[in-house]
Amino acid sequence: MNRITKNLTKVLQDDIVHITFMSTGAIYPLEGFSFEELLELAQTGLYQNRDMQKVEL
């Protein structure tokens, strides 16, 4: 895990992006949602959009 973190950190620093990894979980600034909650919201939106496109065809 440390090797992956170091490699990823170097790549991200080259792109001027910074991410902090936490072992217990992370809270993101978007209204204090956890990663799992944000992922669930994104998946729900993706599936709804996909289903709407099927109806339009």
Question: Which two three-digit tokens encode residue 47?
Answer: 């599936």
Rg (CA), the chain: 16
pLDDT at 44 over 80: yes
What would the mean pLDDT of 7-19 be, rounded to a whole number?
61
Q: What is the reported pTM?
A: 0.36
Q: So what's the pLDDT on residue 55?
A: 65
Q: Could you give the CA distance from residue 38 to residue 15 in angstroms, rounded to a whole number?
A: 24
What would the mean pLDDT of 34-57 be, rounded to a whole number?
76
Phi, psi angles (nearest 5°) of residue 46? -65, -45
Q: Could you give the CA distance from residue 47 to residue 26 in angstroms, rounded to a whole number?
A: 25
Q: So what's the pLDDT on residue 6?
A: 75
Q: So what's the pLDDT on residue 16?
A: 52
